[in-house]
Amino acid sequence: MFRWGWLIVAFGLAGCASLQVSSDYDSEADFSALHTYDWLPAPQIESGDPKIQYDSLLANRVKTAVNEQLERKGFERSAGHADFLVTYHVAIDNKISVTYLNELYGYGPGWGPNYRRNIMHYGYPGREAVVSEYQVGTLILDVVRATDRQLIWRGTARDEVYPDNSTKAREKRVRDAVQKILEQFPPAK
């Protein structure tokens, strides 16, 4: 997966309405045996596109938020003797939204107490389409068993990207997304 530096703003609980969080896990994994963790090294992506390059600002924000949440859950970071390893991935999807404005519902002739007469007078009302482009970012957190490097848990958060947010807002959105993802780790029995 690619890491976009400005994707930092894609996550958060701005109203908690648009953040979609989910998780999946290996039902055979023994999560009760997990006590210590460490980070897998991030892969370096060389594409020539500055949007796709590894971003140390994003890496630091995600790692700080994950470390805080795992420590709150009682996990300890141990560089040489970890029970599980953590890594993250980030992706961006371009989306298009189309909204139709119908003149019958207050956007032109045909509205009000005499709307039937207005429709007949003006003919059938038209529709106007408003097209907008936006981006949706996905943050994926993976938990890998340290002994055999097998994926045992994956959590994801998806939300709209807001590239104009301040640095503080970006940090909050990352923290909030990581918190919501890790609420589902370890999975309930």
Q: Is residue 44 part of a domain?
A: yes
Q: Is residue 21 part of a domain?
A: yes
Q: Is residue 125 part of a domain?
A: no
Q: Is residue 39 part of a domain?
A: yes
Sheet architecture: strand order including 76-77: 20-25, 151-160, 127-145, 84-102, 36-39, 76-77
Which helix (H) or strand (E) covers residue 39, if one does? strand 36-39
Give pTM, 2 decimals.
0.72
Q: Is residue 111 part of a domain?
A: no
Instruction: Kindly state the average pLDDT of the residues 70-85.
Output: 95
- Total structural domains within the chain: 1
Q: Is residue 117 part of a domain?
A: no
- pLDDT, one tens digit per residue, over 104-154 is 555 455 445 555 544 444 445 556 788 888 888 899 999 999 999 999 999
Domain harbouring 171, CATH code: 3.30.160.670
Residue 36 belongs to domain spanning: 5-93+135-182
Q: Is residue 123 part of a domain?
A: no
Which range is least confidently modeled, 29-33, 41-45, 142-146? 41-45
Q: Is residue 32 part of a domain?
A: yes
Separation between Cα atoms, residue 62 and residue 57, nearest integer Å: 9
